[in-house]
Amino acid sequence: MLDIKQLHHEFILGKKKQQTRISVLKDISFQVKKGEVVTLVGKSGSGKSTLLNLISGFIHPTRGEIWINGSEVSTFTEKQFANFRLKHMGFIFQNFQLIPSMTAFQNIELPLILKGENENKRKQMTLDMLEKVGLKEFGDYYPSELSGGQQQRISIARALILEPPLILADEPTGSLDSETEASLLEFIQQLNEDLGITFLIITHDEVVARTGHRTIAIRDGRLVESGVSQ
């Protein structure tokens, strides 16, 4: 599903005559197989956020290859990657990233509108997704009227609505209390088991890290560990 090959990335600081190159990722290679839940752990500054942005296509690597679902996305233009993301990738964010002026229903429906689905199909798919995440009665609620856990479920529903084979989650429980965190992690595991969705979860939380089938650790831009979670 995801194949990272000798990925290296540098940021260039300063003007032309006084440029400084800072290596953030240093020849990283790993794979995430279809149907896996893999957690990527590392302290602040370890390079995990840069890696997520590279996989998401928001920045391009200095060198190396990124393959997702059989396509080498590291060669894509910005427009090509935008179209690819819509079809193949879903995203879950720490701060939910819901649009406050839209209802829960409208937030979930938005990717379908961007894809160009007709209104009747959008409505049924969105209602089905609300039921799947256990929030059937909350479609008309605005984000400010929902709890943190409910907002994150709406975020997950939006990520799932186009049935992407890969979901990237960036600190998905970072804004939640421990009880809500446990409920959300159980929900992610259920989605993985029932639907076979592949998850790559970025985290610094040890509890979250233990929920994956496998944990990858990154330190100072290098892969330092990869193994099965206990």
Look at residue 59 and tell me if it is in a domain: yes
Using one digit for the tens of pLDDT, what is the confidence trace for 68-80? 999 999 999 999 9
| pLDDT given at position 228 | 53
Q: Tokens for 19?
A: 């440029």
Token pair for residue 206? 């040890």
H/E stretch holding 22 reads strand 20-32
pLDDT at 227 (0 to 100): 62
Is 185 within the bounds of a domain? yes
**Other CB atoms within 10 Å distance of the CB of residue 224:** 12
* CA–CA gap between residue 109 and residue 201 (Å, rounded): 24
R_g over Cα of the chain:
18
Token representation of residue 163: 């049935």
Interatomic CA distance for residues 51 and 47, integer angstroms: 6
Residue 45 lies in a domain: yes
Q: Which amino acid is at 131?
A: E
Query: How many structural domains compose the chain?
Result: 1
What CATH code is carried by the domain that includes residue 188?
Answer: 3.40.50.300
- Which pLDDT score is estimated for 230? 42
Q: What is the pLDDT of residue 137?
A: 95
Assess if residue 173 is contained within a domain.
yes
The SS3 of residue 162 is coil
- pTM for the predicted model, two decimal places: 0.83
- Does residue 145 belong to any structural domain of this protein? no
- Average pLDDT for 70-92: 90
| CA–CA dist 90, 155 (Å, integer) | 10
Looking at residue 191, what is its pLDDT?
83
d(CA 143, CA 230): 35
> Over 50: is that where the pLDDT of 103 sits?
yes
- Is 88 part of a structural domain of the chain? yes
Q: How many CB atoms lie within 10 A of CB 5?
A: 15
188 closest CA partner among 180, 177, 199: 199
Structural domain of 38: 2-97+164-228
CA dihedral over 171, 111, 188, 222, signed as positive or negative: negative
Asked if residue 81 belongs to a domain, the reply is: yes
Asked whether the predicted pLDDT for residue 41 surpasses 70, the reply is yes
Q: Would you say residue 132 lies in a domain?
A: no
Q: How far is Cα 9 from Cα 27, in angstroms, rounded to an integer?
A: 8
* Mean pLDDT computed over every residue of the chain: 88
